Copies of this chain bind each other. A is one copy, B any other.
């Protein structure tokens, strides 16, 4: 199959999917074109999914990888309290993999449809391993995006759902878009998605907010997981957020249990304590 035929097939699949009315032009030109609405901010993220690092072709079907590639970026939108608008997909695959490419896009577009994401463009290349880079754009009312940098000493720390689930979960991670939108409306002070482990992502949030944190060991640990999994395991894709004590945070948001796991403090920026003892983040570092 020629490249133009593969791209034509992806384009037809995309055109059967969701089309946000802000998108003036999608696949078929040098660029996609977006006409912004009045009083909205746009948020952007990009995430790699790499063969033998984030998946293997033995453990994941093409459709799972398509799902996962989009889910990782959508999880970043969720953490900003943003509503998804569009994605662009750069995909490299080995030669003669046209049916694999179709299945990848089926998995990706099924998730896109559920969250009203328009596939607006991308790039297709040949490479000896599978590489996907997905860019997502979302919208928030002007000035209302949830940031990592808004946590204040005294704020409570919460997390959605459960932490440390074993790897089966990772096949089809579920981005917490509805929870993110609700948290924005509830007035959360800061938010991040837990992609590299609770401890490391909490440290990132604390560093951007120039605060520290004290956790209790009373975490919402998934069935079959250990406290270590819950603290340092990656790819939970839950939302970790903070809110001022005066904010009423419900016990459930968008069908997910919400657990209070600690308090923001004013010790050295980025310092995390668990039950009063210093905790060293062990989350995923690509370069260690």
> Residues of A at under 8 Å CB distance from B?
1-4, 6, 24-25, 28-36, 38, 40-48, 50, 53, 76-77, 79-80, 82, 88, 90, 92, 95-96, 98, 120-127, 129, 131, 133, 135, 137-138, 140, 142-143, 145, 147-149, 191-193, 208, 285-288
Contact = CB atoms under 8 A, between A and B. Distances in A.
Contact of A44 (B77, B88, B131): B88
A50 B121 CA distance: 19
A77 B287 contact: no
29 contacts: A4-B285, A6-B287, A24-B41, A24-B143, A24-B145, A28-B208, A30-B45, A30-B79, A31-B45, A31-B76, A31-B77, A31-B79, A31-B80, A31-B138, A33-B140, A34-B44, A35-B41, A35-B142, A36-B40, A36-B42, A44-B88, A47-B90, A48-B90, A48-B92, A50-B125, A50-B127, A90-B133, A124-B286, A126-B286
Contacts of A79: 30-31
Contact of A30 (B34, B80, B90): B80
B29 A80 contact: yes
B286 A3 contact: yes
Given A45-B121, A121-B45, A95 B287 contact: yes
Nearest to A86: B44
A3 B204 CA distance: 13
A124 B33 CA distance: 27
A106 B217 CA distance: 44
A77 B48 CA distance: 23
A148 B43 contact: no
A208 B80 contact: no
Given A34-B41, A36-B36, A46-B135, 12 more contacts: A25-B147, A28-B148, A30-B80, A31-B45, A31-B77, A31-B80, A31-B138, A33-B43, A46-B90, A50-B125, A92-B131, A123-B133
B53 A42 contact: no
Contacts of A287: 1-3, 6, 95-96, 98, 126
Nearest to A208: B28
Given A88-B44, A125-B53, A31 B82 contact: yes
A10 to B, nearest CB: 13
A122 B80 contact: no
Contacts of A6: 287
A92 B46 contact: no
Contacts of A125: 48, 50, 53, 286
A143 B24 CA distance: 9
A46 B286 contact: no
Contact of A46 (B77, B122, B126, B140): B122
Contact of A32 (B2, B45, B98, B148): B45
